[in-house]
Structure 1
Amino acid sequence: MTTRQVSVWTGLLMAACLASTPAFSADLKLSGDQEAPPVKTSASGTGSINVATDGAVTGSVTTTGMTGTAAHIHHAAAGKSGPVVLPLTKSGDNTWSVPAGSKLTPEQLKAYQAGELYVNVHSAANKDGEVRAQIKP
């Protein structure tokens, strides 16, 4: 392979990696005190929600100390409650995942960029949500 060919392949590989790189990928820590209003609970959760520059969403959250009944990504600023943007699916014991192929609308992507999306997990005891984490870019 010539030096030019190596350069071309290297450039293509780097472009492919950058194109698939999420705009955000960080660990989340879910707790009851982040719910609106705050919930007194010993339950907690961890996870990662990844949002790509085109709005594609991937990730999951796992809880401990509770039996989740549903999990969602919602639209609201910290300290407020808001409508469901994306329901998560149960993918294992106490684990909830973003369904394959999920994508935010342009309006939802703007809300994400403003720090106005959160993920929470609901329980029978706390139907509006037991643990929550704000998704910050």
Structure 2
Amino acid sequence: MGTRRGFLKTVGVGTVAAAGLTTMAAADEDENEDAVLFTPLTSGQTVPKVRSRATGMVDFTDDGGVLTFEMTLKNIEGVTQAHIHAGGRGETGGVVFPLIAFNTKLDGSGSGDPQSGTPQHPLRVTGDIGSTSVSPVEDLVTNPTRYYVNVHAVENPSGEVRGQIREP
């Protein structure tokens, strides 16, 4: 688990525009050992490639038959949306699950306020994806490498960081 970063400890909470989500300022803590899936997020995995210092991590857990996620983002400005897409490494694919929506448009020109995360104050978002016994959530859990997380930002609306989902 050397590529996997630890989760973050909550030090403040606010509401996100998307239903059922929270965003929190955070500080480092131990990694999430309950994760059933995870993905590190970097700009080196984006399609097309972008240059960014932004990084992140998404951990997915099975919470009583409901797949939940916890996303942490650092060194990123103007986050507008994040999604789970269908597609292998280096491929682009359609949105399967929305994760966050701080703004109604990928480039930040819609309604809502894009959010940012710094090394000292990472952006942390949590939420539910759905029941693990219902397709396509079941397929995500069974075949995680067929999916990736893409985080969109004002400067890079096609994606600032991305990561292929996998098992720990």
- Would the TM-score normalized by the shorter structure come out above 0.5? yes
1:24 to 31, 36, 39: 36
Q: Which amino acid aligns with 1:128?
A: S
1:123 Cα shift?
A: 0.3
Check if 1:60 corresponds to 2:90: no
Question: In the alignment, which residue of structure 1 is the partner of 2:99?
Answer: 88
Structure 2, gaps ≥5 residues long: 1-33, 103-114, 118-122
Structure 1's 23 and 79: CA in aligned 2 closer, same or farther, altered over 3 A? same
Structure 1's 84 and 63: CA in aligned 2 closer, same or farther, altered over 3 A? same
- Structure 1 distance, partners of 2:76, 2:140, is 29
Higher helix share: 1
1:51 Cα shift?
A: 5.3
1:112 Cα shift?
A: 4.8
What SS does the aligned partner of 2:131 have?
coil
RMSD over equivalenced CA pairs, Å: 2.9
Check if 1:134 corresponds to 2:164: yes
- Structure whose alpha-carbon radius of gyration is higher: 1
1:40 Cα shift?
A: 1.4
- Residues 77-121 of structure 1 show CA distances to partners (whole Å, capped at 9, x for unaligned) of 11111111111136986223333x623642453355331111121
- Structure 2 distance, partners of 1:51, 1:35, is 27
Structure 1's 111 and 48: CA in aligned 2 closer, same or farther, altered over 3 A? closer
Structure 1's 108 and 79: CA in aligned 2 closer, same or farther, altered over 3 A? farther
- Normalising by structure 1, we get a TM-score of 0.66
Structure 1's 98 and 74: CA in aligned 2 closer, same or farther, altered over 3 A? farther
Check if 1:102 corresponds to 2:114: no
Contact 2:37–2:141 (Cα < 8 Å) also in 1: no
What SS does the aligned partner of 2:97 have?
strand
Higher strand share: 2
Check if 1:125 corresponds to 2:155: yes
Contact 1:90–1:96 (Cα < 8 Å) also in 2: no
1:33 to 44, 54, 60: 44
Q: Which amino acid aligns with 1:81?
A: T
1:37 Cα shift?
A: 2.1
- Structure 1 distance, partners of 2:146, 2:74, is 25
| Percent identity of equivalent pairs | 29
